Each structure stands twice: as C-alpha cells, then as structure tokens.
Chains A and B, each alone.
Chain A
C-alpha cells in the first residue's frame, strides 16, 4: 500500500513542466493526486517520474472571457463548488462539483485531474460533455484546443499526447433563459455515480428552444443523448416532453457489470433524465417568478 519508487519533480512554471514531460520516460503529471495517488499506492500505476503541477500558479485562475468561463486545470473541486463566478456563469459545474468525492478529497482534487483521468463514474466529465467544453493543452510544439467530444476517447483515456498537459478548460457561459440540472444515483452519498446526468435547456415562451443531455456511467466515456435533444427541440416544456426523452434514454446501450447490469443502468438513465429535465424546468420557472 505504498507507492513504488519514483523521482519527484516540482517545476515552477508550465514551460518547465512541458519540458520535463517531453524529456523523461514513463513520467506522469501529478495534479491533485486523488486518483493517481491511490493508483500508485495500489501499484496499478508505477511511473518512474512524477511531475507535480502544484507549484505552477498559472494553472489556478478562474476568469470570465468573451468565449465563456475559463478555468485553470489546477483549480480544485472545492474552489469550483464555492466560487461565486462559477455559480453565476456555470451553475451546472458548481452543482456537479459539490458531488465529487468528499470535502477532504475536493480540497485537493482538481478540475483538470478529473477531466484527464476520465473515470466513467466521475461527475465533471459529464458536465464537460453537456456543455461542449473546450480543452486547452500545451505541448513541446505549442498549444492546441480540443473539443471535449474529441478529448474523451476511451476508458481512462484522453486525447492528450504523452508529452501534453491540460492547461485550462473553457465552458460556455449560461445564456439568458438557460437552466440546468445535475443528478446522479449511487448507493451511498459521495460514491462514484452508477449513472449520472447533466442537462441544460433554453426556454422560449414555454417551448424548448435548445437542450443538451449528457449521461455518465453508461459507457467508457460520457455520452450525449443527441436523439432526445433533437426530439425535444420545439416541444412545450411539459411532462410529456420529459417522458419522451426518458424513453429514448432508457434504450441507450449501457455497459454493465456484475453489480449493476446493463438493463439496471438503462432504467436509471430513463428515471434520471426525466427527473433532471423536470428539475431544470422547475428552476427556470422559479427564476421567472422572482
């Protein structure tokens, strides 16, 4: 239960971190350590070099930009949960952040760590999928941007090249008339979600102008429910619409395991999509009556 030996590096800035990562063999980047450290203690991961981003201050900013909310990869989940700026511009992210692990892990676990680790039961990748977040990465040949749908490739696998580091993520700011909700089901609070759902919706005079539905826990990476998103467009925001989306969600192909087989997860998908859409809608109604 002790991590295998490695060499520790603590670069002071991003350039130094990128240089180390491209020069060293079998190196891993250490963000908050709430997934990598358990994997090392359990000897599932055994890097020869650990590059700690804890000293890279430029990765800890939260800024409002014309493109949306720009959040540094090393911003902790606890900061996301408590930030007034995040709550105003991206309430879906605040809501999901409060469900990540426990306070004792959120104090150290980071946005970037969660999005690069891509655990199928994790909350933040589902938010990134629902909001079409843009992932900004830096490597030895410069910076590039990757849409989240092209970033989450497979089980615990991102599109990052071995010598690239996620620097920040841009989430589009919630527009006027937009509402959202995040829900998950697990056996105990704070466990990884068996199934989770993130929805956003924009209403126009009682009709659904646009909506996004993302599901976590059903496959190796978060899944967008494009068929339901399309079906709901233009429908009146009523229970009939939520039921229709739930029917589509309950047919989605789900990976199953011995504890939670595929049909159990499909049932959860339907129930959670119906509830989350209803909750998002009630929130919009509440806001209109203020």
Chain B
C-alpha cells in the first residue's frame, strides 16, 4: 500500500516540496529524499536521541514524527547549524574544544538539543543540572558526557 502525501516545508531555511509515503518518518525523509544524512538514526523508537532535529524551533525525535506531519513546518537539522562557509557554530566549536564527542554518532542530536537550550536560555546563565537534564535525552556511549557538559557550561554562562 502506497499512500502518497504532498508536503511543503522549510528545511534549514530552504523551501522543499515533495511527495512522501505516509509511513516514512521525518528522519528517513531528510536522509533519503534530501540527502541530509547528518541526522543519524540510532534506535528508531525514540530512546537514543541521535535523530533529534528542531521543528518550529522545538527539539523532536525525527524517528517518531512522520514526514507528512512536518507539512507546513520549519525543520532545522545539523546541516543548517554551521555557516555556509563551514565555520563552526559556537556550540560545535566548544564541543570540539572540550572533547565533547568521540565517535560522533550522537553528536548531531546533541548539538540540536544544546541549540534549543541556548535559544530558550536567551542569555541567562544555565545551571549544570539543567544542562544535564537536557542532555539526558541524548545517549552517548563514548564520552561519559563530561566534555559535553563542560562545553555547554562555557556557552551558556
């Protein structure tokens, strides 16, 4: 059964129009149709957070959202975070500086989570407890989180 759905959305500021099967989730749509393979799939049932993207500014699991549900919305992925000339976003630079990644599989999701936290904090100092609570939704099996927390503390102070 193919259930084609016409969708229109914005991805990293670019208007996108496509026809998708209703069962295709947003992460597969981004990766396969738009070749935005920076959004990683770990568990594909909402536990690991590797596929975290921002939908209308709010973090969401792209594996638990159908592509058709993104119709009319604005989606931000890891590809839209650094500037077009490749200069790292301050969050990315801080993660690099503090060794907040090792294998890098979870990193796109981590960056999107921290980006939401940074925007919501609007310049306020974010306590470590709040940073750890936000990052609890992103599983990392390499770093032990300390580098990520240090990077976030530097950015959000």
Contacts and interface: CB of A to CB of B under 8 A. Distances in A.
Contacts of B25: 2-3, 37, 41
B63 A41 contact: yes
B65 A104 contact: no
Contacts of A6: 1, 3, 22-23
B58 interface: yes
A234 interface: no
B65 A4 contact: no
B59 A104 contact: yes
Interface string A199-230: 00000000000000000000000000000000
B44 interface: yes
B59 A107 contact: yes
Interface string A1-39: 111111110100000000000000000000001100110
Contacts of B65: 33, 37, 108
Interface string B65-88: 110110000000000000000000
A78 B69 CA distance: 18
B59 A8 contact: no
B59 A103 contact: yes
B46 A37 contact: yes
What DSSP secondary structure best describes chain A's contact surface? loop
A38 B51 CA distance: 14
Given A6-B23, A38-B46, A107 B133 contact: no
Interface in B4-55: 5, 21-23, 25, 28, 44-47, 49, 52, 55
A101 B133 CA distance: 11
Contacts of A41: 25, 44-45, 63-64
Nearest to B72: A55
Nearest to A9: B22
A107 B60 contact: yes
B22 A7 contact: yes
A241 to B, nearest CB: 32
Contact of B1 (A7, A34, A38): A7
Interface residues of A, number: 29
Interface in B93-128: 113, 116
A50 B65 CA distance: 13
Nearest to B57: A107
B90 interface: no
Contacts of A103: 59, 113, 116, 133-134, 137
Contacts of A3: 23, 25
Contacts of B66: 8, 33, 37, 52
A102 interface: yes
Contacts of A188: 136
Contact of B46 (A4, A8, A105): A105
A27 to B, nearest CB: 13
Interface of A: 1-8, 10, 33-34, 37-38, 41-42, 50, 52, 54, 78, 101-105, 107-108, 188-190
Interface of B: 1-3, 5, 21-23, 25, 28, 44-47, 49, 52, 55, 58-61, 63-66, 68-69, 113, 116, 133-134, 136-138
Given A37-B63, A103-B59, A105-B137, 16 more contacts: A3-B25, A5-B1, A5-B2, A6-B3, A7-B3, A8-B5, A8-B66, A8-B68, A33-B66, A38-B47, A54-B69, A102-B49, A102-B136, A107-B58, A190-B136, A190-B137
19 contacts: A3-B25, A5-B1, A6-B3, A6-B23, A7-B3, A8-B3, A8-B22, A34-B46, A37-B46, A37-B63, A52-B66, A52-B69, A54-B69, A101-B137, A102-B136, A103-B116, A105-B137, A108-B58, A190-B136
